[in-house]
Chains A and B, each alone.
Chain A
Amino acid sequence: MSLIRGRGLGLEIHLAGWEFDAAVNELTARLGERSDFYRGTSARVVLGEEPLSDEQVEALRAVLSSAGIELRAVEPAPDGAELARRRAMRPKRELKLSDAARSLVADFDGARADIAERRKRGEASVRRTNANAAAAAASAALQVAPPPPPGTLYHVGTLRGGQALHHAGNIVVVGDVNPGTELVATGDIVVFGRLLGVAHAGAQGDNDAKVYALQLHATQLRIASVIAVDEEHARSASEPEVAFVRDGRIAIAPFSKAAEVAG
């Protein structure tokens, strides 16, 4: 399998089938051949069977950085469904459901086992974005918007009844989410528009997941295994709000106060 692949705005370094040291040498050599070609781009490392130690990640980062490439992420190898979802990350109007992701909705037991497993491996239970100053500076230099954080499904357009987005990662919708629509994410959900359907964030058990919307009028909100229904119809959200779990229940706060709330 080739080590380096170009992918959209950046590079992917695929370590599957490579001994780590051999990979580093190969990477150094290849990048050395065309020293300035990749300058200013970003890269993701896709792991093979073995996870990497911190020193190993640093080594990779150093090699990349000496060619002017910024290491953005290190990820486990995606399965076919994930690959399909990555390709779906470009804004588009056609929706594709992932069959694997459908089971996210009801598989709480499986979810808990999965979280335990990840914790054993020392990983966060959900891939999250961390504000990265270097990334911000680099992208400012390029004057190009940084690509969405890994694992985010970004959809532009209104979602209509009967449509669903299920994603292992975060979901961002720029548009309305009509009633009868379903958003299920293992991470956060952000709706830059009206959220009228059902939103389920932290679908694999992440209680820290949140739901944001310009108008949060969801038919039903779910975060991890907590479900909330807004019985009073008189909720008239006129400002952006965020929903989160506190004390085992879902709470909603105005976004402007979000900094004061948990998480």
Chain B
Amino acid sequence: MHQHILRQAQDDSGVEIAPAPKLGRAIVVTSGKGGVGKTTTTANLGTALAQRGARVALIDADVGLRNLDIVLGLESRVKYHLLDVLEDKVTLDEALVRDKHSETLVLLAAAQSREKDEVDTEKMRALVQGLRERYDYVLIDCPAGIELGFKNAIVGADEAIVVCTPEVSAVRDVDRVVGLLGNRFKPQLIINRLRPQLVKKGKMLSVEDVNAILRLPLLGVIADEPEIIITTNRGEPLALRHDGETASAYHAIAARVAGEDVPAPSPEFKESLMDKLGSIFGGKRA
């Protein structure tokens, strides 16, 4: 015993004290426009990050219209929700639901029968802060619109991912939201539901068209696939797979979010992406 302790003391002599754990990143996924894929993106990005080993907490901030639990296939496991926690009826740990597929992914579901104005802004901020101390990423699924629900979802976040589809109405709404967010959130863009064939025919906005107005660093572009609807209906996020374009796109996005330098996506998209856009992918400057 004595010997053992001595040896350990020798081993410890050169060891540095581990630095205090870093605060996790709190990212709100928003858009203004409804139906562009915020919830699907939150679920898939969260899954992809967790698959890389990160500890991820997802918060559904759409009180009254909760959907993140469905998309993750967790609706039958939800016992308590965001308001239960904010109102101190249960602890955070009692309310957090562990994901079925990814070990390090948890969900805090929204309430279904409550209203958005029942959320206390300061308590929401504290909640997000508390989660940041325990998780590497806290992703907040923001409701559509720019009303109170939106305002409560962004509080506590210090980064934003905006999701936009290649439609004029969506671009306008997203532009509004980016204006409201301001530079503080360092918003980055995901373009969702792109159909390269329609873009080629001139029947859909291109990535360039969208970003000519939005002028945001591009995190990724996701094509419209029936698979996406199928998997959200079934509660099995596509990011659980490692094959297929959409899954790869989400994994690439997760890598970029984590700070990796991931080159522009597959050749399929080169038609809708002009080469110069490659330089505005996060982190990579041509």
A binds B: yes
Chain A residues within 8 Å of B, Cβ to Cβ:
93-94, 158-163, 176, 178-180, 196
CB–CB A180/B182 < 8 A: no
**Which of chain B's residues have a CB closer than 8 A to the CB of A176?**
215
CB–CB A163/B179 < 8 A: yes
**Which of chain A's residues have a CB closer than 8 A to the CB of B182?**
93-94
**Which of chain B's residues have a CB closer than 8 A to the CB of A94?**
182
Q: How far is the CB of B5 from chain A (nearest CB, A)?
A: 60
**Which of chain A's residues have a CB closer than 8 A to the CB of B183?**
93
Q: Chain B binding site: helix, strand, loop or mixed by DSSP? A: helix
Please, which residue of chain B has its CB at the minimum distance from the CB of A159? B179
Give me 14 A-to-B residue pairs in the complex whose CB atoms sit less than 8 angstroms apart, sorted by A's number: A94-B182, A158-B215, A159-B179, A160-B176, A160-B179, A161-B175, A161-B176, A161-B179, A162-B175, A162-B176, A178-B213, A179-B172, A180-B172, A196-B213
The distance in angstroms between the C-alpha atoms of A93 and B173, with both chains bound, is: 20
CB–CB A179/B213 < 8 A: yes
The distance in angstroms between the C-alpha atoms of A176 and B175, with both chains bound, is: 12
Q: Number of contacting residues on B, CB 8 A?
A: 11
Cβ of B178 < 8 Å from any Cβ of A? yes
The distance in angstroms between the C-alpha atoms of A161 and B213, with both chains bound, is: 10
The distance in angstroms between the C-alpha atoms of A93 and B179, with both chains bound, is: 10
Chain B residues within 8 Å of A, Cβ to Cβ:
172-173, 175-176, 178-180, 182-183, 213, 215
The distance in angstroms between the C-alpha atoms of A178 and B172, with both chains bound, is: 9
The distance in angstroms between the C-alpha atoms of A84 and B213, with both chains bound, is: 30
Q: How far is the CB of A91 from chain B (nearest CB, A)?
A: 14
Q: How far is the CB of B172 from chain A (nearest CB, A)?
A: 5
Please, which residue of chain A has its CB at the minimum distance from the CB of B215? A158
Q: Which one, A158, A180, A196, contacts B176 given CB within 8 A?
A: A180
Q: How far is the CB of B169 from chain A (nearest CB, A)?
A: 11
The distance in angstroms between the C-alpha atoms of A162 and B180, with both chains bound, is: 9
Q: How far is the CB of B173 from chain A (nearest CB, A)?
A: 8
Q: How far is the CB of A36 from chain B (nearest CB, A)?
A: 43
**Which of chain B's residues have a CB closer than 8 A to the CB of A161?**
172-173, 175-176, 179
The distance in angstroms between the C-alpha atoms of A94 and B213, with both chains bound, is: 19
Q: How far is the CB of B145 from chain A (nearest CB, A)?
A: 13
**Which of chain A's residues have a CB closer than 8 A to the CB of B180?**
162
- Complex A-B, nearest 10 residue pairs according to Cβ-Cβ distance, in ascending order: A160-B179, A161-B175, A162-B176, A161-B176, A160-B175, A163-B179, A161-B172, A180-B172, A178-B175, A160-B178
The distance in angstroms between the C-alpha atoms of A58 and B106, with both chains bound, is: 75
**Which of chain B's residues have a CB closer than 8 A to the CB of A160?**
175-176, 178-179
